[in-house]
Amino acid sequence: MTTLTEKAPAQPAKSAVQQKVAASLARRHRQETLFRFTGLTAVMISLALVALLFINIFSKGLPAFWQASITLDIHFDPAILQISDKPVQQRGESDNAFRERDLAWRSEVGMINFNRIISDALMQVLPDADQHRRQVLRMVTSGERFALRDMVIDDPSIIGQTRRLNLLTDANVDVWLKGNIDRSLPDHQQQLSPIVRQWADELYASGVIQNRFSFALFMNPDSRSSLASAGLAGAFMGSLFMMLIVMLLAVPMGVAAAIYLEEFAPRNKITDLVEVNINNLAAVPSIVFGLLGASVFIGWFNLPMSAPVVGGLVLSLMTLPTVIIATRSTLKAIPPSIRQAALGLGASKMQTIFHHVLPLAIPGILTASILGVAQALGEAAPLLLIGMKSFVASVPATPFEQSTALPVQIFLWQGNELRNFFEARTSAAIIVLLTMMISLNGLAIWLRKKFERRW
């Protein structure tokens, strides 16, 4: 009994704690729910931001892949196209002499007023064209006359014939038809005169002007005079050259460095220093590599400005740490038993690594290099500093020629004065860039999934 009475006073003390707990429990559970909810909100906001970014870019850019183009019956009028015959290399004629004759003929063709051919064709489809002769050519983008010239140069027998061709309309016509400009703006704020706008609407309604897939965007280099036919070909080649250089330089060097540091390097102060250095280099702002390129590659080594070769070197140095770090972690993941087995059977250290460890690491190394190349592909800042910001209207044939790159082209286009047209075209260029990066990353993920081995 005494034990009972002794226990009894303990009861209220315990329940005081319990009461305290019970009293706070509701509040604590509320806090729990709130905390959980906040976390979920953060995840959702982050996901929504990804979605917003992509939807925004795609909704702006996708329409730009289709461009207003006008179908015309172009008559290659012999009265306008008065040119001599295309030169053919004579027997016994030296290459140089022929080339000179050919050049002379080409410049003769270049002197022809192809605009008249286009305006003649336009006159046939445009109502009241006689009263607005000067406005007629505003319908078609100015670069198309060079397309016609090239057709004549390729095949002079076309003269006298009539061909049905799709010509790109002027950028402003495209903007007007897509509604990218406020149609209710007064005349003096419009880019096009009233008659051209009227023509555009009429021809669009009658199907002479249609939105067609824009091959110009992919096939042409950049242009400043004929905005509607400005394309990504030059930038694409520039980026391709740089990716090649990164693959040829950064990947083998990075893999070699990783092998040395992971497998051979003695554990001492110097190795530590190299390691810290590589980790820091991976976090150095990319623009600093641009400064390095500007002062070392261009200033000291006298390499050409704006050339993909310099860009490739700079990007290689930039991606090198990424490749090294990723390759090292791949090598680290390969169990020591593989090495011990090879060494135990009498292989040298070098044979162990190159015959047994490296083959197992190849999927990881591939993934690392693809990610490195993708990183290099998207980088713009260092390229601005080595002169790739300059306008280049040709497709580079070698890495030593002037060129630009996809991200830099995006930078150049977003700054174009004709905002209405280039906002969409820039978004289209971004879609191209993102597609390339996503396919590279997808390839990396696929490789990892396919060859991944858990030890």
Site for another protein in 236-275 (CB under 8 A): 252-254, 256-257, 259-261, 264-265, 273-274
Cα–Cα distance for residue pair 6/107, rounded to 1 Å: 117
Q: With H, G, I as helix, E, B as strand and everything else as coil, classify residue 112.
A: coil
Nearest C-alpha neighbor of 135 from the set 182, 67, 190, 185? 190
Query: Residues 222, 231: contact at Cβ < 8 Å?
Result: yes
- Does residue 78 bind another protein (CB under 8 A)? no
| Footprint on residues 284-313 left by another protein (CB under 8 A) | 284-292, 294-296, 299
User: In the beta sheet, which residues pair with residue 166?
Assistant: 71
Is 110 a binder of another protein (CB under 8 A)? no
The reply to whether 56 sits near another protein by the rule CB under 8 A is: yes
User: Is residue 368 within 8 Å of 327, Cβ to Cβ?
Assistant: yes
What separation in angstroms does the CA of 416 have from each of 230, 252, 409? 12, 39, 11
Our CB check for another protein shows the closer of 113 and 351 to be 351
Question: Radius of gyration of the chain from Cα atoms?
Answer: 33
Question: What x-and-dash track marks residues 363-392 binding another protein by CB under 8 A?
Answer: -----------x--xxxxx--xx-x-x---
When asked if residue 356 is in the footprint of another protein (CB under 8 A), the reply is: no
Rounded least distance, CB 403 to another protein, Å: 16
User: Quick one: 80 or 288, whose CB is closer to another protein?
Assistant: 288
Type of residue numbered 290 = G
Of the candidate spans 35-43, 63-71, 124-132, 144-152, the one that interacts with another protein by CB under 8 A turns out to be: 35-43
> Residue 18, interface with another protein (CB under 8 A)?
no
- Contact residue for another protein among 89, 161, 162, 280 (CB under 8 A): 280
**Phi, psi (rounded to 5 degrees) for 71:** -90, 120
Min dist. Cβ of residue 213 to another protein (A): 23
Is residue 123 involved in binding another protein (CB under 8 A)? Answer: no
The binder of another protein chosen from 18, 20, 22, 35 (CB under 8 A):
35
Question: Is residue 103 within the footprint of another protein (CB under 8 A)?
Answer: no
Spell 271-305 as b/e; 16+ CB within 10 A means b: eeeeeeebeebeeeebeebbebbbeebbeeeebbe
* Residue pair 92/59 in contact by the 8 Å Cβ criterion: no
